[in-house]
Amino acid sequence: MTEFTRRQLLAAGSAAAALGLAGVRPAFSQASVDFAGKTVEWWMPFSEGGGSDVWARFFAPYLSKYLPGNPNVVVRNVPGGGSITGSNEFVARARPDGLAILGTSGSTQFPFLLGDPRVRYDYAKLIPVLVSPTGGVCYLPAKFEVKSPAELGKIKDQDLVYGSQGATSLDLVPMLAFRLLGLKVRHVFGMQGRGDGRLAFERGEATIDYQTSSAYLTNVTPLVEAGTAVPMFSWGILDAQGNVARDPTFPDLPHFVEAYEMMHGKKPSGVEYDAYLAFFGSGFAAQKPCMLPEGTSDDIVATYRKAFADAVADPELQKAKGDVLGDYTQAVGNDIEQLYKVATTIKPEARDWVRNFLDTEYQVKL
C-alpha cells in the first residue's frame, strides 16, 4: 500500500499547487514586465564546465530570446562548498526583481534533503520555473551471464564492487538502489566523476556501474556491442502523475522498479523505498531546477514560465539540444510544481532512515 500513499501525497500536492496557481496567479499579466536593456544573472553554484554549467549556458540564449525585452542573460559561477556556498549566497543576496535566477543540481538538493546544518536555502520557498530531468543506465559485466534483471538473483551472494564519488554524492541513489535489490555491493569511494567509475569497470576493478544517458550511449554501447557489458535497467523517469516510467532514451530497457519486480516478483515498498524514491527524484527525474527567489511577484513568475515554455518549444533548441538535454521532456509552465516537489521533499521518517543508514554503514555524521 505504501507506494500508493506516496502517489496520493503527490497528487494532493499537485492539486494544492494547481489551486494555488489558479487562485492567486493571473494567467497572463505580463504587459508590465519588461527586461529591455537589463542583465539577468543566472547563478550557478558550480564552476565552469560542469554538467549544470553546460545546462545553464545552453538555455541562456533561448531564455534571452523569449523574455520580454530580450535581456542579456549571463551565467555567474559561484563555486565552492559542494554548491552549498553559492546557493546560500543566492538566498541571502538575490532580490525578487526577476534579474537573478538560480540553477541547482542533485548535489545541491541532497544536503538539503539530508538536513545538512550548513544549508541555508529552502527549496519550499524558491519558485521553480524550469525542471530538467536526466537519466542513466545500470550495467554489469557479461561474465556474470546475467541477461536480464530477472536473473539478478544469480549474483545476489556475490561481492560486487562499485566505483563511487562518495556516500552523500549523487551516487547515493545507486547505493540505495543496490541495497533495495538485495545485491552485495562494496562501494569504493573517491572517484572524481562517473567517468572514473567507468574506467574502473573497463579495467575490471568495478563489477557494477551506471552511466548517465549520453555517456552510456557513447562509451558503454561499444562495450555492449563487443559483448563485454550487459545493460540491466535504467533509473526511469517520473511521469506527470509522479509514477516511475521507462526512460524515453531506452524504451526497451526496464526501469528500476520493473527490474525490482522481475527480480523479486513484487513491487518495492517500505521506508527504504520511500528514501530511494526521494533521492532518485532529486538526483535524476527532476535533477536540475531553475528557480526565482522567494517573494517574486506573480507576473514575473508567469513571464519566466512562459519564456521557458516557449524556449523549450523552439525548434532551434530542439535541434541543438543533443546530449545536453537528451530525449527528456523538460518540465515547464504549470506542470512544474509537482515534479519540483518530488525533487525537493522527503518524508521525515525516510530522511531519518537514510541519516541513520549513512551513519551506521559509512560513519557519515550529518
Q: For binding to other proteins (CB under 8 A), which residues are involved?
A: 48-50, 53-54, 57-58, 61, 74-82, 84-85, 88, 93, 95, 118, 161, 166-168, 186, 188-190, 192-193, 195-196, 198-200, 202-203, 205, 214-215, 217-219, 222, 320, 322-324, 362-365
The span from the CA of 140 to the CA of 224, in Å, is 10
C-alpha triplet 117, 121, 123: angle, nearest 5°: 115
In angstroms, what is the minimal distance from the CB of 252 to other proteins? 21
Please say whether the beta carbons of 342 and 286 come within 8 A.
Answer: yes
CB nearer other proteins, residue 128 or residue 163: 163
What is the CB neighbour count within 10 angstroms for residue 314?
A: 14
Quick one: 54 or 271, whose CB is closer to other proteins?
54
DSSP label at residue 42: E
- Residue of 282, 311, 292 whose CA lies nearest to 129: 292
Min CB(221)–other proteins separation in Å: 9
Nearer to other proteins, 192 or 265 (CB): 192
List Cα–Cα distances, 29 to 34, 123, 171, 352, in angstroms.
11, 25, 43, 43
Nearer CB in complex with other proteins: 78/173: 78
Cβ nearer to other proteins, comparing 157 with 360 = 360
Between residues 167 and 262, which has the closer beta carbon with respect to other proteins?
Answer: 167
Within 8 A by CB and 6+ apart from 40, the residues are: 63, 64, 67, 71, 72, 73, 74, 98, 99, 100, 101
Residue 121 CB, nearest approach to other proteins (Å)? 13
Q: Which is nearer to other proteins, 165 or 345 (CB)?
A: 165
CB of 295 to other proteins, least distance (A): 14
Smaller CB distance to other proteins: residue 80 or 270? Answer: 80
Q: Looking at the DSSP assignment, which residues form a beta bridge with residue 137? A: 211, 234
User: Which CB atom, from 1 or from 226, has the smaller least distance to other proteins?
Assistant: 226
Q: How far is the CB of 167 from other proteins (least distance, A)?
A: 6
Query: Quick one: which H or E segment has residue 279?
Result: helix 271-280
292 strand-pairing partners: 127
In whole angstroms, the minimum distance from the beta carbon of 79 to other proteins comes to 5
Q: Give the integer Cα–Cα distance in Å for 264 and 283.
A: 25
The minimum distance between CB 271 and other proteins, in angstroms, equals: 23
In the chain, the DSSP E strands lie at: 39-44, 72-77, 100-103, 127-132, 136-141, 159-163, 184-188, 209-212, 229-234, 237-238, 244-245, 288-292
Cβ at position 133, least distance to other proteins in Å: 17
**Cα separation values, 348 from 66, 181, 185, 285, 345, Å:** 40, 23, 27, 21, 9
CB of 143 to other proteins, least distance (A): 17
SS3 content of the chain, % helix, strand, coil (to 5): 50, 15, 35
Strands 100-103, 39-44: parallel, antiparallel or unpaired by DSSP? parallel
Q: Please, what is the minimum distance in Å from the beta carbon of residue 220 to other proteins?
A: 9
CB nearer to other proteins: pick between 18 and 324: 324
Instruction: Return the ∠ at Cα 80 (arms to 91 and 56), rounded to 5°.
Output: 65
Please state the φ and ψ torsions of residue 52, each to the nearest 5 degrees: -70, -35
